[in-house]
Amino acid sequence: MDRLDAMQVLITAVDEGSLSAGSRKLDAPLTSVSRKVAELERHLGTKLLIRTSRNLQLTDAGRDYVDAARAILAQIEVAERRASGEYDEPRGELTVTLPVEFGRLVALPFVTSFLNDHPEIYLDLLSVDRFVPLVEERVDVGIRLGNLADSSLYAVKVGEVSVLTCASPAYLTRRGRPCHPDDLANHDGITFNALKESLWAYESRGSRFEANPRPRVHVNNASAAATAALRDLGIVQLLNYHVANELRSGSLVRLLENYESPSIPVHLVYHRQGLMPRKVRSFLDWTVPRLRQRLKELRELGS
């Protein structure tokens, strides 16, 4: 039995919540995952997992063993990085997670320059609209939008993104321009995902307003929402980077400029135990000032 491999299989199953979910994560047969966990339990002479119909639960021995296994695998990773020179030179595979549209519209345009400046770094970008636990999924850096939960991660704030209310000139010609959030009730609206039922929030001179246009179109992502607005279907509320090009070209117009909507903070987060690999430090040092400048330009565009 390969104990290190069995440790990783066990940890993945625990993190994913079931043996079947662990097998999907590892892209391995369920029978293989079950066998490796069973072999590990036989080797240790104790039960590590309590299997229920809904999920996995760790026994007391299992909790202790998983904690120790995580520490062992982390030490091995550090030893491998030392041996490969990752602590001496910026080299090796760097895994970065970030939201899909933020990556496409904001981060990706300058990734090419970073790779040109660091020829021995290989970038693995995980563009996903879900929370990615860095340690469990072995991710080096995360770019996160929104308020951060308390954690052991280090965080560097690089700016904020604005929430903007927009519509096409043709729609405004046909339906008129709202001058106050209350006017939205007389307009058609475009919503997406969690924003479908929520009120659009605005602030002005210490007063807070909440209002919504009439739901006319609901889509499942920001790109589709922007496209619907370009097709003159209604008023949309999106983040500034979603509509930066459209605002510059005039194909969309910003509305309710005198009413601010809450901004969303942007952070780079990373895990650090002991020495930081040079590839991570190089990425942070290169990215932070450029991302700050880009977010500042986007804020100025929407002001």
Q: In the chain, where are the structural domains located? A: 3-84, 92-161+264-301, 163-255
Residue 150 banded pLDDT, cuts 50, 70, 90: low
Q: Can you give the pLDDT at residue 238?
A: 93
Three-class HEC string of 214-229: EEEEEECCHHHHHHHH
Q: Can you give the pLDDT at residue 198?
A: 67
Phi, then psi, of 81 in degrees rounded to 5: -65, -40
Q: Can you give the pLDDT at residue 5?
A: 82
pTM attached to this predicted model: 0.70
Please give the mean pLDDT across all residues of the chain: 86
Phi, then psi, of 200 in degrees rounded to 5: -80, 130
Closest to 158 measured CA to CA, from 44, 13, 292: 292
- Domain 3-84 and domain 92-161+264-301, same fold? Reply is no
pLDDT in tens, 195-249: 445 678 899 888 899 888 888 899 988 899 999 999 999 999 999 999 999 999 9
Q: What Rg, from alpha-carbon coordinates, does the chain have?
A: 24
Q: Flag the least confident range among 113-117, 148-152, 206-210, 291-295.
A: 148-152
Residue 87 banded pLDDT, cuts 50, 70, 90: low
Closest to 18 measured CA to CA, from 4, 5, 3, 34: 34
Instruction: Name the architecture of domain 3-84.
Output: Orthogonal Bundle (1.10)
Task: Give residue 142's Cα distance to chain centre.
Answer: 7
pLDDT mean over 94-106: 92
Task: With a cut of 80, say whether residue 82 has pLDDT above it.
Answer: no
For every residue of 117-181, DSSP letters joined together read: H-TTEEEEEEE-SS---TTTTT-SEEEEESPPPS-S-EEEEEEEE-EEEEE-HHHHHHH----SG
pLDDT in tens, 24-78: 888 888 888 888 888 888 888 888 888 765 677 888 888 888 888 888 877 777 6
pLDDT in tens, 116-130: 888 889 999 998 988
Q: What is the CATH number of domain 92-161+264-301?
A: 3.40.190.10
Q: What is the CATH number of domain 163-255?
A: 3.40.190.290
